[in-house]
Structure 1
Amino acid sequence: MKDVDGSLAEGTASFVKKTGRDKLWQRLDKHYKRFIDPKTSLLFEDMAEYRNCIVCREDNTQTIFIKDGFTHVRCLNCGFVYVNPILKEDCFDEVYESSDFGNKWVEVLLSEDQRKFDQAKFEKGVEKINKFTKKGRILDIGCSVGHFLEIARDDGWETVGMELNKRAVEHARSLGLKVWEEKLTPNLFPKEHFEAITLWEVLEHVSEPRELLKEIHLILKDKGILLVLVPNIDSIALRIMHEKSATFGGSSHVNFFNYKTLSRLLKEEGFETVDYETIVSELGTLNNYLNYEHPYLGKGGQILDFLTPEYIHKNLLGYKLLMTVRKVKVKS
């Protein structure tokens, strides 16, 4: 896939401001303070939920950093990086269903520059799905404002979306899209109902991805396609910037995959990998950071010549990991 990087195309600071991310980030301090105990600078204990590693199920971790009161750890058994503890489910749901933070993110998604970025990303996603399955029914879980569903519908797919944010649902429905305002639960759809399902930047938000993947496996047709996009913990941007990266936001981003951990999780839940790559070089942000400027609002400068989008994606160092997998039968 050709590099899809809105910040690289016109400069990170310009992209951030035109999409409204700068205004969104100004609200984050207020957003996080609702959950953080001022005495400990950590998540309030009565709001905290502890969990084992979602990949290997072990409880053997090392803290790598604390950001905005949320502890980020690495599993010493399998290498998976995650937030522990996380917000309890009722607090987590409030963030996505009705919070000001969620509504401001919808404004970002509806900005012209963000739509251009997403257009290229989603068109390539549809092309990839078409490569591995025939057209039919497609479900986009976490469909947000419905941009992917629009593109899939225009390409001839019968589309259905699921989304929790009320404002996003209203916008998607205004486009004539069928969107369910609820989570995926057992028996919501018939078994083997969809030719394809997509998870565009969803798994990093879900406290227990295996439950979601099990339900997806049930409602996908035999050899149906699942397309997954997540932040890539092995990206060169995250390896260099660590907690300075906007990817790390403990109230919402709680899982951080690389190819090894994501492919293991998907395989154990009945999917075989048919394609994988990284997208979004994040070179503009890196350029700022390596020149001692604000990673997202800096003016940039000269960067090492070998850091090209081609080099980054050849070595799976891109900001996002895109995996296409096929449903296979689970061994009993």
Structure 2
Amino acid sequence: MDKNSFDAALRPGVRAALAPSNSALRRAEDETFRRLLDEDGQFLPGASFARDCPYCHTASATASLVLQAYGMHLMRCADCGLVYSREVINRAFEQQRYQASQAADANMALKIDPHYAALEQDKARYVMARLGSLAGTGSVLDIGSSTGALLQAAEAAGWTARGVEINPAAVAHCRQQQLQAVCGEYPCALSADWGPFDAVLMLDVLEHLPDPLAFLARVSADMQPGGWLVIQVPNFRSLLLTIEGGRNNNICHGHWSYFEEQTLPGLMRKAGFEMRFFETYISELDRILAYPDEVIATAWQQLTGQVLEQPRQLTVEHVHQAMLGYKLFGIFQKVAA
């Protein structure tokens, strides 16, 4: 099990090969975001609603502003410390954004790019190996199954795998590979004879949810006692995101909660899950080292409290030891009420 196997920073030529697809996605997303904003960069009337902290429900009026981007005010809760967008776009637009939009089409084009698909396949094998080391095999549901890399890896590892995905093109791609996936939103798209599941996979899902605790409660209801929940989310405390701030592509519409090393396990405990494995992966070291030494050193000291004497000697291992990788990855177990 080697998490460096799917780190693009360690695979020569991958960045250049993916540059056209990534650039097309960024342009499409930027255009999609700006359609909802007025000339001052604020949401158009009726396009969004305001909320309080989705973790502890403390009023947003008491939170501190972290940054502003695309009409969103990212707030840090004064009570639990979660960073979240005070504004969330309305449900109708959110559905359209994932089902039929230029951004959705550009995202799909990236997902089926052979270079990106190879990274995802390696990551899927790693994820299922990590899960298998704790849980063995059984039935697994992939929420947001995309083009099916996890479903394929799960089946190869001996699991009975099913997926639910909102993007019709991604579901069609799964079915072409003879993978079991349905088109729609969880939980309404699930077949009546599916579940309860021994494990549920939620990679890059939790950050999209306006009410993550309510969603996790429903997921728990569809799981066996002692079932396993696999979570991947962007790491708001990652070194690259800290350097780039609001320019980072994880700061975007659709990402409503921004998790860190402390707040993700805390939210999961509140939802009735205990952490069994936790790390960061995907270093983005090459993107980090594209910045000047003083920028890297300042961000490192901000995050760790330590002086980074020689930024050019920073390694992938240093990044992950400090929990500053681009993604948080955790395996959690459902506990008795």
Q: TM-score, normalised by structure 2?
A: 0.89
Tell me by how many angstroms 1:13 deviates. Answer: 4.5
Q: Partner residue of 1:317?
A: 324
2 CA distance for matches of 1:290 and 1:319? Answer: 19
Q: Partner residue of 1:300?
A: none
Tell me by how many angstroms 1:192 deviates. Answer: 6.2
Q: Partner residue of 2:303?
A: none
> Contact 1:143–1:161 at 8 Å: present in 2 too?
yes
Deviations 1:164-201 (A, max 9, x none): 01111111111111112122237945796111110011
After superposition, the Cα gap between the structure-2 partners of 1:41 and 1:14, relative to the gap in structure 1 and judged at 3 Å, is same
Are 1:275 and 2:277 matched, yes or no?
yes
Are 1:37 and 2:44 matched, yes or no?
no
2 CA distance for matches of 1:72 and 1:222? Answer: 36
Are 1:228 and 2:231 matched, yes or no?
yes
After superposition, the Cα gap between the structure-2 partners of 1:142 and 1:265, relative to the gap in structure 1 and judged at 3 Å, is same
Q: Partner residue of 1:198?
A: 201
1 CA distance for matches of 2:77 and 2:250? Answer: 19
The aligned amino acid for 2:173 is H
> Contact 1:271–1:326 at 8 Å: present in 2 too?
yes
The aligned amino acid for 1:204 is E
Tell me by how many angstroms 1:10 deviates. Answer: 2.2
Range with greater deviation from structure 2 (82-91 or 184-193):
184-193
Q: Partner residue of 1:299?
A: none
Alignment of 1:1-332 (within 5 A): 1-3=2-4, 4-10=6-12, 13-17=15-19, 20-38=21-39, 40-59=40-59, 60-185=62-187, 188=190, 193-249=196-252, 251-290=253-292, 304-330=311-337
> Contact 2:293–2:312 at 8 Å: present in 1 too?
no
SS of the aligned residue for 2:290 comes to helix
> Contact 1:11–1:284 at 8 Å: present in 2 too?
no
SS of the aligned residue for 1:289 comes to coil
2 CA distance for matches of 1:191 and 1:165? Answer: 20
The aligned amino acid for 2:35 is R
> Contact 1:279–1:319 at 8 Å: present in 2 too?
yes
SS of the aligned residue for 2:163 comes to strand
The aligned amino acid for 1:231 is P
SS of the aligned residue for 1:281 comes to coil
Deviations 1:250-279 (A, max 9, x none): x22121101211111111111110000000
After superposition, the Cα gap between the structure-2 partners of 1:327 and 1:192, relative to the gap in structure 1 and judged at 3 Å, is farther
The aligned amino acid for 2:163 is G
1 CA distance for matches of 2:108 and 2:294? Answer: 31
Deviations 1:205-238 (A, max 9, x none): 1111112111111111111111000001111111
Structure 1 gaps, min length 5: 294-302
SS of the aligned residue for 1:160 comes to strand
Tell me by how many angstroms 1:316 deviates. Answer: 0.8
Q: How many residues are matched?
A: 318
SS of the aligned residue for 2:187 comes to coil
After superposition, the Cα gap between the structure-2 partners of 1:28 and 1:185, relative to the gap in structure 1 and judged at 3 Å, is closer
Tell me by how many angstroms 1:326 deviates. Answer: 0.5
Tell me by how many angstroms 1:28 deviates. Answer: 2.6
2 CA distance for matches of 1:328 and 1:228? Answer: 16
Tell me by how many angstroms 1:33 deviates. Answer: 2.0
Deviations 1:134-172 (A, max 9, x none): 311110000011111011112211110000011111111
Deviations 1:96-115 (A, max 9, x none): 12222112101101111111
Tell me by how many angstroms 1:305 deviates. Answer: 4.1
The aligned amino acid for 1:324 is I
Tell me by how many angstroms 1:2 deviates. Answer: 2.9
Q: TM-score, normalised by structure 1?
A: 0.90
The aligned amino acid for 2:50 is Y
Structure 2 gaps, min length 5: 296-309
The aligned amino acid for 2:58 is E
2 CA distance for matches of 1:310 and 1:41? Answer: 39
After superposition, the Cα gap between the structure-2 partners of 1:123 and 1:73, relative to the gap in structure 1 and judged at 3 Å, is same
Q: What root-mean-square deviation, in Å, do the aligned CA atoms of Structure 1 and Structure 2 show?
A: 2.1
2 CA distance for matches of 1:292 and 1:243? Answer: 19
Equivalent pairs: percent with the same residue?
26
> Contact 1:7–1:16 at 8 Å: present in 2 too?
no
> Contact 1:106–1:167 at 8 Å: present in 2 too?
yes
Deviations 1:299-330 (A, max 9, x none): xxxx7244211111111111100000001112
